[in-house]
């Protein structure tokens, strides 16, 4: 029997759905042990960030996915931005804040509205692409003010230069040293038609993107994705699993 946790209607036809939350690291590790799993494929980012791969290793169970330390490249935007800056990987200009007043002062000194991001995981809703200074200040208040709408995820805020262009995701398999690229894809994050409304975890996606030229695709595959994997290895936290840089093509 192939166990799935928590599973869905589709996986029910392939095996047994287990009544476990993806965030229940101990329960998932116990289920993997009790079901004598030899390999666990960890899909969602939340259990990766909570250390499920590390916990499975204690049980002697192989897992497909990064360790908790390596998963910080997804679970902490500040960590990811600092990593890219240290290793010369192209990224938008940014600043990191934990103090509301400092963050507001920074935004008021910018010439263009920025992107305001909650540092932690926020189900794809933690990046607010601002069209005005007022919107950026409101986003800061939501994260660092008394409202604290984003909870722990918003206790640190990344304020980032807003780039103009089209976004593409470069999925790749990696063993921590080498990368094997998958076809590029584009997802629709905005909640409303016409690319309007707040960001979501995803409203749909398509692949391949016909607008992406071969030269740009080659540069991403040969420079950005491998450089990110190399940077993680150099930091002593090799990333294994599927890595997926999101790139704005300007």
State the pLDDT at residue 148. Answer: 82
3-class DSSP string for the chain = CCEECCCCHHHHCCCEECCCCCCCHHHHHHHHHHCCCCEEECCCHHHHHCCHHHHHHHCCCEEECCCCCCCHHHHCHHHHHHHHHHCCCCCCCEEEECCHHHHHHHHHCCCCCCEEEECCCCCCCCEEECCCHHHHHHHHHHHHCCCCCCHHHHCCEEEECCCCCEEEECCEEECCCCEEECCCEEECCEEEHHHEEEECCCCCEECCCCCCCHHHHHHHHHHHHHHHHHHHHHCCCCCCEEECCEEEEC
* pLDDT tens sequence across 116-141: 999 999 877 889 999 999 999 999 99
* pLDDT, mean of residues 192-205: 84
* pLDDT tens sequence across 131-187: 999 999 999 999 998 878 889 999 999 999 999 999 999 999 999 999 999 999 998
Q: What CATH number has the domain spanning 93-160?
A: 3.30.1490.20
| Domain 3-64 indexed as CATH 3.40.190.10 | no
Domain range list for the chain: 3-64, 93-160, 164-249
| Domain 164-249 indexed as CATH 3.30.470.20 | yes
* pLDDT, mean of residues 222-233: 95
């Amino acid at each position: 029997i192939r166990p799935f946790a928590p599973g869905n209607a589709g996986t029910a036809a392939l095996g047994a759905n287990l009544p476990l939350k993806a965030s229940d690291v101990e329960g998932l590790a116990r289920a993997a042990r009790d079901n004598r799993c030899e390999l666990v494929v960890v899909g969602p980012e939340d259990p990766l960030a909570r250390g499920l791969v590390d916990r499975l290793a204690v049980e002697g169970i192989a897992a497909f996915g990064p360790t908790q330390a390596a998963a910080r490249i997804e679970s902490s935007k500040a960590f990811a931005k600092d990593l890219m800056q240290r290793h010369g990987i192209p990224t938008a200009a940014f600043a990191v804040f934990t103090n509301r007043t400092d963050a507001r002062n920074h935004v008021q000194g910018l010439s263009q509205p920025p992107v305001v991001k909650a540092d932690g995981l926020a189900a794809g809703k933690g990046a607010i692409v601002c069209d005005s200074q007022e919107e950026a200040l409101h986003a800061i208040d939501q994260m660092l003010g008394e409202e604290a709408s984003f909870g722990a995820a918003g206790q640190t805020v990344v304020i980032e230069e807003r780039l103009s262009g089209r976004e593409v995701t470069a999925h790749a398999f990696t063993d921590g040293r080498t990368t094997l690229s998958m076809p590029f894809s584009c997802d629709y994050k905005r909640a409303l038609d016409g690319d309007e409304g707040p960001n979501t975890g995803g409203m749909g996606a398509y692949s391949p993107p016909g607008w992406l030229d071969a030269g740009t695709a080659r540069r991403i595959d040969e420079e950005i994705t491998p450089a990110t994997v190399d940077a993680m290895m150099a930091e002593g936290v090799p990333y294994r699993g599927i890595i997926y840089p999101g790139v704005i093509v300007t």
